[in-house]
Chain A
């Protein structure tokens, strides 16, 4: 009846996951209770859960990423404490628990923190920057988000029902095959990623189409803001790379469920095939994450320097070069497989070539600052912190692209430090910069600068205190994923890294405090202009938060930095006072399709993990039926009458005119 599921799946004997799971469960139930009792449920359902508004979906993506950041961060804290104390002892985490934690940490941080964070920001901002009213496929967008949430839910469910993978975040076979990992851990891993992978692919298709097909009048490719370019590049990579991940995991699942032999030791299975396939996805994935971050920094550096981006065309070229080359370097993840010197050297050099366009980007940001008038608001702090940190990460990255150096450093703590250096210093700093930068746009009030700066300084210094010791440990021969160790010279560095982790945690607490304080003082921090940073691209041309239709009129773009252009224009012409003629606007209707579909996907995923076949069929039929019902819809749009558009837009125009005239007076 319930497949492999019975009471032994609940870890009654293990206090840590049980208590953690219990606390989370109580927390979730308390929030749900509060929502129901206070009568917020209809609001949540109509305005958020069923919303197909790209801004709302973007916010929900970021909320998901933030919550999961706390989960993945807790894993990191537990690992750092374990390695600080597990010298010539077992520490406080037995191996099968420790191994789950580092596997979950990697999986969560990449798939459920970094990915939803950047996809959320792209969703929120790109249609606004392009001057359009929505993404290409609004309902599909909602489906994509909810499927990602399903994946996150399943990963967290493994904390209390069963176990998570104990194989590392890429689940290399044959360790991840049934013979060496008979539990449900790898199944939780694989099905979570299969389901959320579909969500990511859908989001990628949607954003590529949006950038290619939905641009406002005059917004040709070479007038798009840099963030739109990096979004295009990143989502092209998603569309090209995620099917590889899906296929690879499907093969692993066939091995595990139906006795196939793609990657098993026996019957001609080949683990080297898995290594190649997973990294053929895995390396582009790194650029899927970091390219949007590059875009965010381009916007931030340009805005806060009060200048257009230096070498815009060069930046576009560099972005697309990275997009293409990133597909040709995957083998550098396993130089130590013994492929031979020609193969290793070619992939080593190809990997280094990526450093060229990346270096160009750094220099272009540098020259954007040159001759600027730099305002050090929180987003700009993250940007400068990023530039310094990312260069160091780039250096160590190029270093491990040199095969003989990699022969010493592969899989070491040096490598761990390297990829955290680029992922924290690049992606996470970028996500935070974007969060601080676009928060006023999404919610209509700024974030508290004092807490924001504290968060930056703690995170920045915490990063170095945590990861410089890991570089050193790697140079002392320490390999990754050690549940305990006996080498005395590693110990001091592990202790320092744990202290660094504490500093990083303070950074996260400051980030939370910033949000709390800002929400409390939101009236004082209110942004009535829609343009709190003196921005340059079109998202700042509408009010904060933007109306559901984003723009009453499709803006007419006449050059790069479209909104800056308009502002200069308006100042010169001492403001137009012509009253525009408003039209009805058609917007997509809200739809529960995404949520319902994800509900059935969750049921199906859970059932597949536990081999509850009748429930698998139920979930599959439910998800398919949802799709059919949506496909049979009659009305998918509603009309906002011109009068309502006019009323909303006038308020915006008033505020904006007062802003421009004030600036003109100065």
Chain B
């Protein structure tokens, strides 16, 4: 999950900015640290060769320099921030080959639901995408806040109930990546990991077709069952009944997840044991 091993253009640009910023700052930070240690060592009281200058307490020239160095650095980095924030805005398009894939992600109490409205399928805790295509994410939450994050693809974004956030990504290489929630959301939070399977654009239609053959159907009813608190270890797949399901969730036509009170003990698949509190 190394951030410096990006697998898509967004992560690559993010990590380039990250590394560049560090080097820009190191250029003044390293000399400053060296100067601190050197001054502290040289002007130690026991060093008789150091010149004692008790009246050296003001110098206009030095003042100008010490205000300028950080100011110039910040002007430079501010430029990086301004340009970077605009170019890498999560909502900005990320051109790719082939037609873009629309994905609607919903964070549930302690699992991720990915809806492919155009393909009319949905998956839980597995995100399968074609390499090289633009991925348009719309995201919301069924209950509490979470953050959608695939470290090697870049930019994370919040999911919030009653709101839709947007994120565009692209995965360049086939393979398996790891996604997660990066915002604490309760007891099952550490299990909100999901697999990101990047497959070739040619085999993506096949995957869609085979997934669509599943018997399980995602509609309002099965969604409500799914949003009960609990951890989902198996990788569920669904046929999507109503392509507007995401909108119903995001506009709260389907009420938010119930939290712990309405939950029956049996539905709790927690491995942490009995929490009778």
List chain A positions with a Cβ less than 8 A from chain B. Answer: 8, 11, 13, 90, 94-96, 99, 163, 166-168, 172, 174-175, 179-180, 182-183, 265-266, 271-272, 305-312, 314, 334, 336-338, 340-342, 344-345, 348-349, 352-353, 355-356, 358-360, 362-364, 366-376, 384, 387-388, 391-392, 394-395, 398-399, 401-405, 407-412, 475-487, 489
> Contact between A334 and B3 (Cβ–Cβ < 8 Å)?
no
> Contact between A371 and B151 (Cβ–Cβ < 8 Å)?
no
- Listed from nearest, the 10 A-B pairs whose CB atoms lie closest are A371-B53, A359-B70, A477-B1, A477-B151, A363-B66, A345-B85, A407-B155, A94-B272, A404-B84, A265-B256
Shortest CB-to-CB span from A539 to chain B, Å, is: 20
A306 vs B35: C-alpha distance when bound (angstroms): 19
A484 vs B39: C-alpha distance when bound (angstroms): 45
> Is residue B80 contacting chain A, with contact meaning CB distance below 8 A?
yes
Which listed residue (B45, B84, B187) contacts A95, Cβ 8 A?
Answer: B187
A344 vs B187: C-alpha distance when bound (angstroms): 31
Which of B86, B88, B145, B184 has the most CB atoms of chain A within a 10 A radius of its CB? B184
> Is residue B131 contacting chain A, with contact meaning CB distance below 8 A?
no
> Contact between B71 and A271 (Cβ–Cβ < 8 Å)?
no
> Contact between A95 and B66 (Cβ–Cβ < 8 Å)?
no
> Is residue B226 contacting chain A, with contact meaning CB distance below 8 A?
no
Which listed residue (B37, B157, B275) contacts A96, Cβ 8 A?
Answer: B275
A310/B58 contact (C-beta < 8 A), A348-B81, A371-B52 known: yes
| Nearest CB in chain A to that of B36: its residue | A387
> Contact between B185 and A404 (Cβ–Cβ < 8 Å)?
no
Q: Which residues of B contact A336 (CB under 8 A)?
A: 90, 147, 155-158
> Contact between B14 and A163 (Cβ–Cβ < 8 Å)?
no
> Contact between A409 and B81 (Cβ–Cβ < 8 Å)?
no
Q: Which residues of B contact A480 (CB under 8 A)?
A: 184
- Beta-carbon contacts of B122-159 to A below 8 Å, as 1s and 0s? 00000000000000000000011101010110111110
A355/B74 contact (C-beta < 8 A), A363-B66, A405-B17, A477-B151 known: yes
Shortest CB-to-CB span from B4 to chain A, Å, is: 7
A364 vs B145: C-alpha distance when bound (angstroms): 43
- Beta-carbon contacts of B51-75 to A below 8 Å, as 1s and 0s? 1111011110011001101110110
A182 vs B277: C-alpha distance when bound (angstroms): 11
Q: Which residues of B contact A180 (CB under 8 A)?
A: 143-144, 186, 259-260
> Contact between A168 and B184 (Cβ–Cβ < 8 Å)?
yes
> Contact between A403 and B158 (Cβ–Cβ < 8 Å)?
no
Q: Which residues of B contact A338 (CB under 8 A)?
A: 90-91, 157-158, 165-167
A363 vs B182: C-alpha distance when bound (angstroms): 37
The size of the chain B interface, using a CB distance under 8 A, is 103
A373 vs B145: C-alpha distance when bound (angstroms): 55
Which of B11, B52, B67 has the most CB atoms of chain A within a 10 A radius of its CB? B67
Q: Which residues of A contact B81 (CB under 8 A)?
A: 345, 348-349, 352, 401-404
> Is residue B113 contacting chain A, with contact meaning CB distance below 8 A?
no
Shortest CB-to-CB span from B119 to chain A, Å, is: 25
A482 vs B187: C-alpha distance when bound (angstroms): 10
> Contact between B74 and A309 (Cβ–Cβ < 8 Å)?
no
> Contact between B155 and A399 (Cβ–Cβ < 8 Å)?
no
> Contact between B84 and A371 (Cβ–Cβ < 8 Å)?
no
A376/B85 contact (C-beta < 8 A), A405-B21, A486-B193 known: no
Which listed residue (A182, A373, A387, A479) contacts B149, Cβ 8 A?
Answer: A479
> Contact between A410 and B182 (Cβ–Cβ < 8 Å)?
yes
A376 vs B45: C-alpha distance when bound (angstroms): 8
> Contact between A399 and B18 (Cβ–Cβ < 8 Å)?
yes
Q: Which residues of B contact A372 (CB under 8 A)?
A: 43, 52-54
Shortest CB-to-CB span from A14 to chain B, Å, is: 8
List chain B positions with a Cβ less than 8 A from chain A. Answer: 1-4, 11, 13-15, 17-18, 21-22, 25-26, 29, 32-33, 35-37, 39-40, 43-45, 50-54, 56-59, 62-63, 66-67, 69-71, 73-74, 77-78, 80-82, 84-92, 143-145, 147, 149, 151-152, 154-158, 160-163, 165-167, 178, 180-190, 193, 252, 255-256, 258-261, 270-273, 275-277
13 contacts between A and B (CB under 8 A): A179-B259, A183-B277, A265-B161, A312-B57, A314-B63, A352-B77, A364-B66, A376-B44, A391-B29, A392-B33, A404-B84, A408-B154, A409-B3
A355 vs B91: C-alpha distance when bound (angstroms): 29
| Nearest CB in chain A to that of B76: its residue | A352
A340/B32 contact (C-beta < 8 A), A180-B143, A308-B57, A372-B43 known: no
> Contact between B252 and A484 (Cβ–Cβ < 8 Å)?
no
> Contact between A402 and B21 (Cβ–Cβ < 8 Å)?
yes
Q: Which residues of B contact A409 (CB under 8 A)?
A: 3, 18
Which of B29, B53, B70 has the most CB atoms of chain A within a 10 A radius of its CB? B70
Shortest CB-to-CB span from B200 to chain A, Å, is: 25
A311/B2 contact (C-beta < 8 A), A94-B273, A373-B43 known: no
A352 vs B74: C-alpha distance when bound (angstroms): 6
| Nearest CB in chain A to that of B188: its residue | A95
Which listed residue (B51, B69, B261, B276) contacts A363, Cβ 8 A?
Answer: B69
Q: Which residues of B contact A398 (CB under 8 A)?
A: 21, 25, 74, 77
A479 vs B273: C-alpha distance when bound (angstroms): 24
Shortest CB-to-CB span from B114 to chain A, Å, is: 18
> Contact between B252 and A404 (Cβ–Cβ < 8 Å)?
no
Which listed residue (B29, B77, B256) contacts A392, Cβ 8 A?
Answer: B29
Which listed residue (B39, B88, B182, B273) contacts A369, Cβ 8 A?
Answer: B39
A163 vs B185: C-alpha distance when bound (angstroms): 18
Shortest CB-to-CB span from A48 to chain B, Å, is: 38
Q: Which residues of A contact B74 (CB under 8 A)?
A: 349, 352-353, 355-356, 398
Question: 9 additional contacts, CB 8 Å, given A305-B43, A336-B156, A398-B77?
Answer: A99-B184, A271-B160, A345-B81, A359-B69, A360-B70, A375-B45, A399-B22, A477-B178, A489-B2
Shortest CB-to-CB span from A373 to chain B, Å, is: 5
A168 vs B260: C-alpha distance when bound (angstroms): 18
A373 vs B51: C-alpha distance when bound (angstroms): 9
| Nearest CB in chain A to that of B22: its residue | A399
| Nearest CB in chain B to that of A272: its residue | B160
A411 vs B240: C-alpha distance when bound (angstroms): 33
A476/B25 contact (C-beta < 8 A), A312-B57, A371-B51, A374-B44 known: no
> Contact between A405 and B186 (Cβ–Cβ < 8 Å)?
no
> Contact between B35 and A366 (Cβ–Cβ < 8 Å)?
yes
Shortest CB-to-CB span from A363 to chain B, Å, is: 4
Shortest CB-to-CB span from A265 to chain B, Å, is: 4
Q: Which residues of A contact B276 (CB under 8 A)?
A: 13
> Contact between A407 and B161 (Cβ–Cβ < 8 Å)?
no
A373 vs B13: C-alpha distance when bound (angstroms): 48
> Contact between B277 and A334 (Cβ–Cβ < 8 Å)?
no
Which listed residue (B154, B155, B277) contacts A11, Cβ 8 A?
Answer: B277
Shortest CB-to-CB span from A250 to chain B, Å, is: 21
A126 vs B273: C-alpha distance when bound (angstroms): 53
A407 vs B169: C-alpha distance when bound (angstroms): 13
| Nearest CB in chain B to that of A274: its residue | B145
A485/B190 contact (C-beta < 8 A), A305-B43, A395-B29, A405-B21 known: yes
| Nearest CB in chain B to that of A356: its residue | B70
